[in-house]
Amino acid sequence: MLNAKSSITIADKSIILVDVEKPAKRCGSADPYVCIKSQSFSLAVPKDSSISKWDFADSRYEVVAKNERAVLGRLYSYDIVKVSGALNLQFAYSRKEGVVAIKEPSGNTLVPVEKCGILVQDTSGGCD
> Which one has a higher pLDDT value, 116 or 33?
33
- C-alpha distances in Å from residue 81, one per residue of 23, 41, 64: 24, 16, 6
- Is 87 within a domain? yes
- Is 66 within a domain? yes
The whole-number pLDDT of residue 55 equals 96
Give the 3-state secondary structure of 81-104.
EEEEECCCEEEEEECCCEEEEEEC
Task: State how beta strands 42-46 and 53-56 pair.
Answer: unpaired
Maximum mean pLDDT: which of 8-22, 23-37, 40-54: 40-54
* Domains contained in the chain, number: 1
The whole-number pLDDT of residue 11 equals 54
> Which one has a higher pLDDT value, 115 or 47?
47
Q: Answer for the pair 99, 93: CB distance below 8 angstroms, yes or no.
A: yes
- Is 3 within a domain? no
- Is 31 within a domain? yes
The whole-number pLDDT of residue 6 equals 45
Distance CA 52, CA 127 (A): 23
- Is 2 within a domain? no
Query: What are the pLDDT digits (tens) for 33-80?
Result: 998 887 777 889 999 999 999 999 999 999 999 999 887 777 888 999
Distance CA 87, CA 60 (A): 9
Q: Which of 3-7, 106-110, 112-116, 118-122 has the lowest mean pLDDT?
A: 3-7
Give the residue numbers spanning the domain of 64.
Answer: 8-123
pTM of the model: 0.75
Torsion, CA 94, CA 65, CA 11, CA 89, rounded to 10: 180
- Is 27 within a domain? yes
